């Protein structure tokens, strides 16, 4: 059955998590992961720091993973770092899927990706992502929308990551893929630098409720992206020059300096989730 499953059907099938729905066929994704993990380990000697920040959510909660986008390999390394215990469901540009007579769509879909319309409020993609989060899956989003320094588009932060996390009642986990941008520079040959994937601390959308309602999602995503760049640059968050990274965009530096956002650990959030589930169970038992 998995050999003939249309890739468009796979978009709405769970890869892991807590859903009772029919699971997506995963043997192709496992083969791709095994091949890429072996090749990339040899070529880039990649390693993962802070992996416990994402592993702690297994079987406990959905999660939105966000990262800064410097290279076409960012997504590959994010995928490799998440497997094999977890799958990450990436949002991919809709125009990628029909390429090569649908072969690209087959490959992307079978590793867990699903499409989103660019520069549009794609309700279908948002609905899919929200459902994934509510069933304990991981959704991967690049809030910059495109690779930094590529093309004519000015870098900007899209607030969709915070919106989807809010709708799916899931934490946000910042991360970075360090030095991937050095693999292929314009006009130069391919290089094979040592790559580091690093996860930070999880964030809660609710921690930004002190902001005016119209600024909460933008502020939350801005803060998450600052965390990503702090990881990438190996500096404290306060030293990240966000106005330089996103000229013309809203700058929340002064706002967060005056009102620090609470810091969480994965263990803390998971403990709170378990306590909440236990409280609901006891209430249900008492009502019965």
Find out whether 251 and 242 touch, Cβ atoms under 8 Å: yes
Q: If you average pLDDT over residues 188-199, what whole number do you get?
A: 94
pLDDT tens for 1-55 read: 445 678 889 999 999 999 999 999 999 899 999 999 999 999 999 999 999 999 9
7-181+188-287 is a CATH 3.40.1130 domain: yes
Find out whether 232 and 82 touch, Cβ atoms under 8 Å: no
pTM: 0.93
pLDDT tens for 51-104 read: 999 999 999 999 999 999 888 899 999 999 999 999 999 998 888 898 877 889
Which residues neighbour 192 within 8 Å (Cβ) at sequence distance 6 or greater?
A: 43, 44, 183
pLDDT tens for 99-126 read: 877 889 899 999 999 999 876 678 999 9
Mean pLDDT of the chain, nearest integer: 92
* pLDDT confidence tier of residue 267, bands split at 50, 70 and 90: very high
Determine the 3-state secondary structure of 176 from DSSP.
Answer: strand
Which tokens in the block code for residue 34? Answer: 């095994």
- Strands in the chain per DSSP E: 47-49, 63-67, 88-93, 114-116, 138-141, 172-178, 196-199
pLDDT tens for 135-192 read: 999 999 999 877 776 656 677 898 999 999 999 999 999 999 999 989 988 778 889 9
Q: Where are the domains of the chain?
A: 7-181+188-287
Most distant CA pair in the chain, distance = 70
């Amino acid at each position: 059955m998995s050999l003939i499953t249309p890739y468009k059907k796979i978009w709405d099938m769970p890869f892991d998590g807590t859903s009772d729905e029919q699971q997506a066929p995963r043997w192709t994704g496992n083969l791709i992961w095994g091949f890429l993990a072996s090749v990339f380990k040899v070529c880039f000697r990649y390693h993962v720091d802070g992996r416990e920040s994402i592993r702690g959510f297994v079987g406990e909660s959905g999660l939105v993973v966000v990262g800064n986008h410097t290279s076409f390999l960012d997504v590959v390394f994010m995928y490799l770092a998440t497997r094999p215990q977890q799958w990450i469901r990436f949002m991919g540009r809709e125009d990628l899927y029909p390429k090569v007579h649908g072969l690209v769509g087959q490959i992307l879909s079978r590793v867990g990706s699903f499409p989103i319309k660019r520069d549009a409020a794609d309700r279908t993609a948002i609905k899919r992502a929200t459902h994934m989060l509510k069933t304990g899956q991981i959704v991967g989003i690049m809030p910059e929308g495109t690779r930094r320094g590529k093309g004519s588009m000015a870098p900007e932060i899209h607030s969709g990551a915070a919106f989807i996390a809010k709708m799916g009642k899931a934490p946000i986990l910042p991360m970075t893929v360090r030095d991937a941008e050095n693999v292929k520079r314009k006009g130069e040959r391919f290089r094979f630098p040592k790559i580091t994937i690093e996860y930070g601390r999880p964030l809660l959308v609710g921690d930004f409720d002190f902001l005016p309602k119209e600024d909460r999602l933008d502020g939350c995503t801005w803060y998450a992206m600052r965390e990503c760049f702090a990881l990438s640059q190996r500096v404290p968050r306060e030293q990240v020059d966000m106005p330089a990274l996103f000229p013309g965009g809203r700058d929340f530096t002064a706002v967060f300096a005056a009102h620090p956002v609470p810091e969480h650990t994965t263990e803390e959030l998971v403990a709170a989730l378990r306590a909440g589930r236990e409280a609901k169970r006891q209430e249900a038992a008492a009502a019965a």
